[in-house]
Amino acid sequence: MSGQVDPVPRAFLGVERSANGQRWMSRLDQAAENRALAMAQVHGLPDLVCRVLAGRGVSLDEAPAFLDPTLRNLMPDPATLTDCLKAAERLADAVAAGEKVAIFGDYDVDGAASSALMHRFLAHFGIDAPIYIPDRIFEGYGPNPTAIGQLIDNGAQVIVTVDCGSTSQEALAVAAERGVDVVVIDHHQMAHAMPPCHALVNPNREDDLSGQGHLCAAGVVFLVLVATLKILRSRGDRRAHLLDLLTFLDLVALATVCDVVPLKGLNRAYVVKGLIAARHMKNAGLAALLKVSGIGGPVTPYHLGFLVGPRINAGGRISDAALGSRLLTVDDPATADEIADRLDGLNRERQVMEASMLAEAEAEAAMAYGDGETASVIVTARDNWHPGIVGLLAARLKERFQRPAFAIAFDPSGKGTGSGRSINGFDIGSMVRAAVDQGLLVKGGGHAMAAGLTVDRPNLGKLRAFFDEASEKTVAALSANRTLKIDGALGASGATLELIDVLETAGPYGSGHSQPIFALPAHRVRDARPVGATHVKVTLEAQDGTRLEAIAFRAAGTALGDLLMTSRGQQLHVAGTIGADHWQGSRRIQMRIIDAAKAF
């Protein structure tokens, strides 16, 4: 009947409010269920793969190509990116003339991989391009006038900025004044004003119609190098015919995974083909990092994102920001092992610092926002925090309190450097920019899910009040309607290696293509114990007696962890992801618990 309101879908397994305060819902509505059934019938695909694809918006016609992403089918003509051919022509000219080229990168994984990608390309043609990575604390993000001047003083005739430069008007003006061409290759959102440069390749500039705005910087660099190589080959450069760019895709995959860009379109092909390249271990630096990380089995997106990435980032966070890019450019295994060991040590040091700072931040948040009066936005601040770790703190606080969170490190002068992370549905970047407009921040910006800021200590209280008022209604509504989307129900006996292999055909999973979440109905908690300082290990048992090992990361002291620890012998509905854990040459199933509820 017209005007009839659709009923609210039933909660999955009847879970209206879980340990994490979420209502469980089926990911597939009726239309997606129908689409999954059609995929299975038309393409002969496994039912579960069809459910995963349909639940993530893949259409009936798209399914075969989605399962086999290829560069041939997904790579655009680089010429569709504004200024790409102009940048490629300039790089080709530099190669032909043997000009001195300098690379200016960012201090994160995308910046390190992009810098290494450009460096390795130029090295093939005999150009030893130095890489400059700014110090996160003293120089901040992007090119600065002093650094650009220094590169020119050292002989740079062309400067290529990667993963930065789109908004660096003042710094690039220095190069323009001194007659040095700058090629900017970036992917960040940018202001209306264009910086003075020879070419700016950024799929997120307003006049770019390529539709490739989802690429990370390394993905854009790769397209520029494809165009450059084509030009060099057309000019008859014999060296160009000896270079296979596909061998560089391990770097592109690393950056794509670690920069958490959506795994759609070209990004899927980058990761699928890049993992193949990574498994050949041709990049000595990446191989050394994988070895020191102690991975078992083939390289996966998890290894890149959670083992390799944090080690590369550790240099930029608390030590030498150039270590990551240096490692990814070396060919000598002994040198690679030495740098990888240093980064591994820095990562352990970072973990210790983070744990101490997180304990302080959680205590401050609990004290300031306790007694049920939780603020809409969590803002914590300390004098002794390391500014390179505040982003990690903000992410942990967001997870713990399930609301936007900031962590701010104040220096002795009273200047605070902060970072924020948001929850789905709330644009933290626009809120920070509004605070800048109100005069509450020295500077600040970001995007929907992450932001950075600089604040003077006297304005901290006003900033907290402004954030709380600006977010109160939206965050309250989001908190009251939090849901967890479940792909399907599964028993412990159904969690098999064969199932993992089937699910992997619909991967890789990541941003924009989330890992499937399954619910185990009414499984008994046979054992629950703390592992390390923050994790909870659980043994689950189905009604047929089949047992499954599971772990809830960083759950100790949370509502989820408390429920698991106090439910020994009781039945719970448990939701999470399943995967294969490689240990001493064998594969075994392990579940990662992300939520649970009592099974009444």
* Contact yes or no for 184/161 (Cβ under 8 A): yes
Per-residue pLDDT, averaged over 382-393, amounts to 93
Kindly report, residue by residue over 226-282, the tens digit of the pLDDT. 999 999 999 999 999 999 999 999 999 999 999 988 899 999 999 999 999 999 999
* Contact yes or no for 420/447 (Cβ under 8 A): no
Q: What is the pLDDT of residue 550?
A: 96
Q: What is the pLDDT of residue 336?
A: 97
* Contact yes or no for 279/297 (Cβ under 8 A): no
Structure tokens at 251: 């770097």
583-587 long-range contacts (CB < 8 A, ≥24 apart) are 583/296, 584/296, 585/296, 587/297, 587/497
**How many Å is the Cα radius of gyration of the chain?**
25
Per-residue pLDDT, averaged over 377-389, amounts to 93
pLDDT band at 124 (very low <50, low <70, confident <90, very high): very high
Kindly report, residue by residue over 20-50, the tens digit of the pLDDT. 999 999 999 999 999 999 999 999 988 889 9
Architecture of the domain defined by 369-481: Roll (3.10)
Answer whether residue 382 shows pLDDT above 70. yes
- The average confidence (pLDDT) of the chain is 93
Residues 344, 324: Cα–Cα separation, whole Å: 11
Q: Which percentage of the chain shows pLDDT scores above 90?
A: 80
- What single-letter amino acid sits at 294? G
- Tokens 């790579």 belong to 75
Q: What is the pLDDT of residue 7?
A: 64
Per-domain residue ranges of the chain: 12-27+487-598, 28-66, 73-280, 369-481
**Phi, psi (rounded to 5 degrees) for 276:** -60, -45
Q: What is the fold, at CATH topology level, of the domain defined by 73-280?
A: inorganic pyrophosphatase (n-terminal core) (3.90.1640)
Answer whether residue 392 shows pLDDT above 50. yes
Kindly report, residue by residue over 436-450, the tens digit of the pLDDT. 999 999 988 877 888
Q: What is the pLDDT of residue 373?
A: 57
Residues 293, 295: Cα–Cα separation, whole Å: 6
Q: What is the pLDDT of residue 419?
A: 94
Q: What is the pLDDT of residue 2?
A: 46
Answer whether residue 582 shows pLDDT above 80. no
Kindly report, residue by residue over 321-360, the tens digit of the pLDDT. 999 999 999 999 999 999 999 999 999 999 999 999 999 9
Q: What is the pLDDT of residue 1?
A: 42
CA atoms within 13 A on the CB side of 155: 8
CATH 2.40.50.460 fits 12-27+487-598, yes or no: yes
Kindly report, residue by residue over 435-494, the tens digit of the pLDDT. 999 999 998 887 788 888 999 999 999 999 999 999 999 998 998 889 999 999 999 999
Partners of residue 24 on adjacent β-strands: 484
Q: What is the pLDDT of residue 414?
A: 95
Residues 252, 275: Cα–Cα separation, whole Å: 10
